[in-house]
Amino acid sequence: MAINNQQIILSPDATPQEILTAGLAAANGPIKLACSFSVEDVVIIDLIQALQLPIGVFAIDTGRLNEETYEVADALTDRYRISIDWYLPKTAAVECLLKDKGPFSFRESLENRQECCRVRKVEPLSRALAVLAGWVTGLRREQSVTRADLAPIEVDETNGGILKINPLLNWTSDQVWDYAREQGVPVNRLHRQGYPSIGCAPCTRAVQPGENERSGRWWWEDPENKECGLNRR
């Protein structure tokens, strides 16, 4: 699937709509949103539907998602009449991890946590991306130090050189929430309970006012390590 770099023309203040449209044209093939059902991802789905862009949606069920996350998935399919392609980790790999290291090995070391993420997230993601020319994420620079130098549209060398499109990269949390409220999009109930970033239930907790958005993810680790491997560069 060839990438048409000629069509990646963006101004520094490009809107999410312009980034999505340019990314779709440049990818020159199928694109899907990697949806974790965060407020960012729901906003992107609403933007895609408003623009009537041929961008699908896929999600990874790690086996440890919160009930509230599944509620959002159902609300999205009902409201937008879209289908969500679910990818699950390989059963044998999960069974092996649990048998060898137990259900909470991810809290014992960074290496163990990254192993759990590889089994439950990264490997299913690789299968989802294998048939795509590009993928859309809800990443924002404001979220963490690990995302400060991202670009709105990038070549994802880690995943076979497909395009990675980050339409909300330059938006603040306030901008995302203003849009969500104005459009009345379905929002995960945990967001309003102090969870700005939501992942697997055992690895996510509420944050205190003034804390970084991702401080509730893997809170026992240093900030520079707070990625699960889905957004490797």
Q: Is the pTM of this model over 0.85?
A: yes
Task: State pLDDT tens for residues 138-179.
Answer: 999 887 666 667 889 999 999 999 999 999 999 999 999 999
Is pLDDT above 60 for 6? no
Judge residue 212's burial from the number of C-beta atoms within 10 Å of its C-beta, 0-12 exposed, 13-18 middle, 19 or more buried: middle
Is pLDDT above 70 for 2? no
162-165 and 84-87 strand pairing: unpaired
* 161 secondary structure, DSSP code: T
Q: Please report which confidence band the pLDDT of residue 213 belongs to, taking 50, 70 and 90 as the band edges.
A: confident
Q: Looking at this protein, which amino acid is placed at residue 178? A: D
**What is 15-195's CATH topology?**
Rossmann fold (3.40.50)
- How is the chain split into domains, by residue range? 15-195
Q: Checking phi first, is residue 106 left (phi over 0); if not, alpha (psi -120 to 50) or beta?
A: alpha
Is pLDDT above 60 for 7? no
Residue positions annotated with a catalytic role: 228
Q: Please report which confidence band the pLDDT of residue 231 belongs to, taking 50, 70 and 90 as the band edges.
A: low
Please tell me which residue, 189 or 142, carries the higher pLDDT value. Answer: 189
Task: State pLDDT tens for residues 106-140.
Answer: 999 999 999 999 999 999 999 999 999 999 999 99
Average pLDDT over residues 62-83: 96
The mean pLDDT value of the chain amounts to 90
